[in-house]
Amino acid sequence: MRLKSFFTMAAAAVTLVVGGTARAGLDFTVSTAPDPSYFTSGDGTSIVKVGETGTTTLNAGPPVNLPDSGRLSADLSGIDVNFAFPTVSSTLSSPESVSFTYGYNLTIHDLNTDTIGTVLVTGTIGGTASASGSTLTAFGFSAKVTGSSADANDPILMHLGQDLFTIAISSNASTGTAPNVNGGIGSLVVHIADPIFAVPEPTSIALLGLGGLGVFGLLRRRLAPRG
């Protein structure tokens, strides 16, 4: 019985050393809405640029709620999340240069901690557009946690409860595909990852090693025959 109690205490000590370092990853949902300070025309979901021979309009696209059912999961390597599907239409009779600065609010619901946070993602879609075609590209991503005093950055860190998210806009995710004029749908992408997924801190590993040596020494003394 004394030996059994000893093993129980040893197991508890090891659990205490490494507890909270190994994680099952992030489980979350994402919803997206255009920021009204950027999409200022009409119902707040489009931006109109007036040219010499007509207009070109960037539409924010349909609301995004991911996933439709269940949840998204991210580990250390993370996943790409398509957060917006904008479209462009133009009545320009000849190609003209256009540039749109957009802003989307990404609301992330951390299902592990039931905590919600919002990130403002901004960027630019620009190039040449006309009624017959376009050469548009998406570029210049940046992001900022809503309510934070920190400058926009890439990647950014967002704490939700006890979980930590990294949201990369350019370096770890494709900048997306710009929409083609009059019918083509673009896709804007962020990369969301769990930066501490199943990675024990070095100090925890060292403590675990020392703890294991100590347990071994105690066990050896307990089992040694007494003279």
Rg, the chain, Cα only: 26
Question: Does position 94 have pLDDT exceeding 70, yes or no?
Answer: yes
More confident site: 57 or 203: 57
Flag whether pLDDT at 17 surpasses 80: no
Q: Where are the domains of the chain?
A: 26-216
Lowest-confidence region among 45-59, 91-105, 194-208: 194-208
Helix/strand/coil for 52: coil
pLDDT at 96 over 80: yes
Pick from 49-53, 104-108, 125-129: least confident? 125-129
* pLDDT higher than 60, residue 175: no
Q: Are 163 and 114 in contact (CB under 8 A)?
A: no
**Average pLDDT, stretch 195-217?**
51
pLDDT for the residue 152: 74
Position with higher pLDDT, 120 vs 196: 120
Mean pLDDT to the nearest integer, 77-85? 89
Inform me whether the pLDDT recorded for 12 exceeds 50: no
- Interaxial angle between packed helices 2-18 and 202-223, expressed in degrees from 0 to 180 and rounded to the nearest 10: 170
Assess whether pLDDT exceeds 50 at residue 3: no
pLDDT at 163 over 70: yes
Q: Are 196 and 165 in contact (CB under 8 A)?
A: no
Q: Taking residues 56-79, what's their average pLDDT?
A: 87
Average pLDDT over every residue of 24-46: 90
Q: What is the pLDDT of residue 203?
A: 47
Given a cut of 80, whether residue 108 has pLDDT beyond it is yes
- The pLDDT, as a whole number, for residue 179 is 77
* DSSP codes, 67-111: -SSS-EEE-SS-EEEEEE--EEEE--SS-EEEEEEEEEEEEEEET
Residue 60, pLDDT > 90, answer yes
> Which pLDDT value is given to residue 45?
94
* Total-model pTM: 0.74
